[in-house]
Amino acid sequence: MASSVKLACKGVWKIFGHNAESFLKTHNNAPGSEDLKSAGLIGGVRDANIEIYTGEIFVIMGLSGSGKSTLVRCLSRLIEPTGGEIILEGQDLLKASDKEMIEIRRHKMGMVFQNFALLPHLTVLGNVAFPLEVQGVPLKKREAQARNVIELVGLKGRENNFPRELSGGQQQRVGIARSLAVEPELWFLDEPFSALDPLIRREMQDEFIRLQNVLNKTIVFITHDFDEAIRLADRIAIMKDGKIIQIGTPAELVMNPATEYVAEFTRHIPRAKVLTAGLVKEAFDENAQTAGNIQFNEVIADIADKVEQSSKPFAVVDTEGKSIGLISRKRVLDVLVGREVTA
The pLDDT, as a whole number, for residue 260 is 94
Phi-psi region of 11 (alpha: psi -120 to 50; beta: other; left: phi over 0): left
| 212 and 332 in a common domain | no
Number of domains in the chain: 2
The pLDDT, as a whole number, for residue 342 is 60
One-letter identity of residue 211: L
| 223 and 265 in a common domain | yes
Q: Give the end of a domain, one of 269, 293, 320.
A: 269
The pLDDT, as a whole number, for residue 3 is 67
Which pLDDT tens digits describe the chain residue by residue (343 residues)?
446 999 999 999 999 999 999 999 999 999 999 999 999 999 999 999 999 999 999 999 998 889 999 999 999 999 999 999 999 999 999 999 999 998 898 888 988 887 778 899 999 999 999 999 988 899 999 999 999 999 988 899 999 999 999 988 889 889 889 988 888 889 999 988 887 788 888 888 888 898 898 888 999 999 988 889 988 999 999 999 999 999 999 999 988 899 999 998 888 888 888 889 998 899 988 888 899 999 998 999 999 999 999 989 999 999 899 999 999 999 998 888 877 666 5
The pLDDT, as a whole number, for residue 240 is 95
| 104 and 202 in a common domain | yes
Give the other-Cβ count within 10 Å of 269's Cβ. Answer: 16
Of 115, 39, 114, the closest CA to residue 82 belongs to: 39
Burial code of 118-133, b = ≥16 C-beta within 10 A, e = fewer? beeebbbbbbbbbbbb
CA distance linking residue 336 with residue 329, whole number of Å: 11
The pLDDT, as a whole number, for residue 317 is 93
Residue 214: inside a domain, yes or no? yes
Q: What range does the domain containing 212 cover?
A: 53-108+184-269
| 233 and 203 in a common domain | yes
Residue 162: inside a domain, yes or no? no
Residue 70: inside a domain, yes or no? yes
* Measured CA distances, 241 to 64, 159, 174, 214, 224 (Å): 10, 43, 33, 36, 14
Burial code of 75-107, b = ≥16 C-beta within 10 A, e = fewer? bbbebebbbbebbbeeeebbebeeeebeebbee
| 330 and 298 in a common domain | yes
Q: Give the end of a domain, one of 224, 254, 269.
A: 269
| 277 and 262 in a common domain | no
Residue 149: inside a domain, yes or no? no
Please list the alpha-helical segments (H only) found in 165-225: 168-180, 198-215
* Measured CA distances, 252 to 63, 247, 258, 271 (Å): 20, 9, 10, 11
Q: Give the end of a domain, one of 224, 249, 269.
A: 269
One-letter identity of residue 303: I
Q: Which residues have CB under 8 Å from 138's CB, separation 6+? A: none
Would you call 285 helix, strand, or coil by DSSP? coil
